[in-house]
């Protein structure tokens, strides 16, 4: 079993795990940790890599489980994130093709208040667009990994990622590659907008046997 954290428009590495066909358990009863993919994604922007973070409501100083974290509706983060995605990918080959599938998540009428529900709905949307049908379950309590499990709860992270021998990022067309060079392991949104249906081929080639 592969154990993954809940993640907001997660990176290519995350989806490479889903592509393997191995059973996946998404941990949602772990302690919520800031500055992780649980509430942020990384995209390529005109000025380089940009981190988009979802503001969350704090528990009054108490440690929260990820499953209890609520998305904050203060400020205009949804509009800001959508504007950043449009600015970065409107000239990509497939943005217009997929935009209507993602726009509702960044409107004020989006119904998902729990972070894990928001992340799950986005994950399901991407899998549907890719005709990808991973064997995913969501934890009902904190998971104690066995020696046979691939526990990647802390391995897939923006800063100082742990070595992952099962993942080998491969290059693909990116909007700003001529300006910044190829940026590996960005959000799946980058790969989807740039490669469209060929996203599956990139995921396949990113899996190291």
177-207: pLDDT as tens digits: 999 999 999 999 999 999 999 999 999 999 9
Residue 138: other Cβ atoms inside 10 A: 14
User: How far, in Å, CA of 9 to CA of 41, rounded?
Assistant: 6
Query: Tell me: the pLDDT tens digits for 128-146?
Result: 999 999 999 999 999 999 9
61, pLDDT greater than 70: no
Of the two residues 202 and 160, the one the predictor is more confident about is: 202
Q: Give CA separation, 125 vs 46, 117, 151, 195, in Å.
A: 26, 12, 24, 17
pTM of the model: 0.95
Q: Place 154 in a pLDDT band, splitting at 50, 70 and 90.
A: confident
User: How far, in Å, CA of 34 to CA of 49, rounded?
Assistant: 19
| The residue count for the chain | 209
Number of domains in the chain: 1
Domain extent for 109: 2-206
Q: How buried is 18 (Cβ within 10 angstroms: 0-12 exposed, 13-18 middle, 19+ buried)? A: buried
């Amino acid at each position: 079993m592969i154990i993954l954290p809940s993640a907001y428009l997660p990176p290519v590495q995350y989806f490479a795990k889903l592509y393997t066909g191995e059973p996946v358990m998404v941990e949602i009863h772990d302690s919520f940790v800031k500055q992780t993919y649980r509430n942020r994604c990384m995209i390529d922007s005109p000025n380089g890599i940009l981190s988009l973070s979802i503001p969350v409501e704090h528990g009054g100083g108490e440690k929260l489980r990820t499953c209890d974290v609520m998305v904050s509706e203060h400020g205009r983060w949804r509009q800001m994130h959508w504007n950043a995605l449009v600015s970065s990918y409107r000239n990509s080959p497939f943005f217009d093709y997929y935009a209507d599938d993602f726009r509702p998540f960044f409107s004020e009428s989006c119904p998902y208040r729990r972070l894990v529900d928001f992340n799950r709905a986005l994950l399901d949307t991407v899998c549907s667009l890719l005709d990808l049908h991973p064997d995913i379950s969501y934890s009902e309590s904190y998971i104690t990994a066995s020696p046979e499990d691939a526990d990647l709860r802390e391995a897939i992270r923006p800063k100082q990622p742990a070595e992952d021998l099962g993942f080998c990022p491969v290059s693909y067309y990116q909007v700003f590659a001529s300006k910044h060079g190829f940026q590996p392991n960005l959000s799946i949104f980058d790969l989807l907008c740039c490669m469209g249906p060929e996203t599956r081929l990139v995921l396949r080639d990113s899996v190291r046997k």
